[in-house]
Each structure stands twice: as structure tokens, then as C-alpha cells.
Amino acid sequence: MASKILSRISESRLCPNNLFYYHSIVGLEFKTFNEKCLQRKPLNITFETIDQRTMNPRQLDHLLNELIFATGEDSVPTQREIFSNFFKKGNTCFIARKEDVLIGYYWAFLDHHIITYDDYKSKNLFLELPEKTVFFGNGFIRPAYRLKGVFPHFASYCIKQFSPENRFVTATDIENRASFNSHQRLGYFKTFQLTCISFVNFQWHFMASGNSTCGIKFHLHHKTCAMPKVSANMLLPLS
């Protein structure tokens, strides 16, 4: 109850984020497909795996424009830079199309991932992924296509592009119940929770809680905190 109140105060902008900030995400790990979730198949939706190595600069620029347009972000230069960096670092992009229109995307990260609370400005949490672990993140589906059976088939397609020997992990905002429930219905289960807190003294903290962190190492300002198991709430101060 207290966490919900703090989160709502932070989101309400009653005070600037540099004075007080509170936000939580939930980590989830995939276990097995819920076939019932895949019975409803959306019509005329196709999925693609993007291999930037086969694309020329013009094709890549066109794809970046499609990704930005689908997202509808106001900060286009920032969004373009983020997606460009994802490609430069060799991350895999999956896209969903309705006929010729891009309606969604999902990214897969193999070696590391960055969870950000402010568009990669300063409040970042660096995740070092264990071998054979795939982190799915930075996903988006256009509002008009949500809750229509697109997500489970899209996520299923992404998972099936990798060996079943891999572990599949993702994260979602704790307040985004629709996303959390969609992942659970597909076959994900909650493994940990991370909370970013800022007080007046500008000292950042992340709290990890749960039964497992999937062997992920969390880097706080480039300091490594290895937490293969977390059995109780743990406060991790940034320095």
C-alpha cells in the first residue's frame, strides 16, 4: 500500500523528480507456453526478425523512421539515438506488421541490458546477463492493436527464434497491470522487483526483492553487485 502511494506521488509531479522519485519494475522469467493464450490468432499480422547486417544505410534509416513513427515519441532525436545504439551493439529487433504498417516491435539483448528510469540520462541500472540468457525489452505495440491477441503471438515468435536451452527474462512497470497479466498468461512468472528511489540528497538506490534474480548481475554506477539469490528486501546504495 505504501509503495503505491509513493509511486503515485512521484508520478503526479507534485514535486520535481530531482527532489523525489519512486518507481518499481517487476522482473519475469519465461517457463512454458500457455497454449490457450495462443488460440486467438490475429488476422493479417506478420512478424519479422531484423538483421541489420543485410541492410544498407537507406533501409536502416527507413526502418528507424518506422519504429519512431509507430512509437509516437515526441523526443524523436533521442528515440532515434536509442534505436541506433541498439543496432550498433548487435541487439536483435523483432517487428510486427499489419499488412505493410509496422504496429509493434520487441528487442532481444544477449550479453547485457540497461534498465532506465529517465531515458538513459542518469538513472540507469546495468544488467549483466548470464550465458544463454535472453532479455526481452523495449517492446511496444500500437494502442489500437493491444488486447487483440497480438502480444502473445508476437512474444511467442520472438522466443522461438532462439534455442529452447536459453532462459528468457523480461521486465515491466509494476503499475502496468495489463502488461504484467499478459506476460503471466503467456507463461512468465515473477522473479524479482527493482525499485528506484531518489530523495532530496540526490542519492539513488535500487532495491531488489524476490526469490531469484535469474543469475543477473546488477551494476550500479559500474559497481557490480552479484545477486544470484535474494531472499529478502535488499537496499543497494549508489555511490
pLDDT digits (tens, 9 = 90+) for 83-137: 999 999 999 999 999 999 999 999 999 988 888 776 666 667 788 899 999 999 9
Per-residue confidence (pLDDT) for residue 9, from 0 to 100: 57
The overall pTM is greater than 0.85: no
Specify the DSSP class assigned to residue 123. Answer: -
pLDDT digits (tens, 9 = 90+) for 164-209: 999 999 999 888 899 999 999 999 999 988 888 877 656 566 666 6
- Inter-residue long-range contacts of 191-194, CB under 8 Å, 24+ positions, other chains counted: 191/27, 191/28, 191/29, 192/26, 192/27, 192/230, 193/24, 193/25, 193/26, 193/27, 194/24, 194/25, 194/27, 194/115, 194/125, 194/218
Count of H helices and E strands in the chain? Answer: 5, 13
Q: Which grid cell is 111? A: 550479453
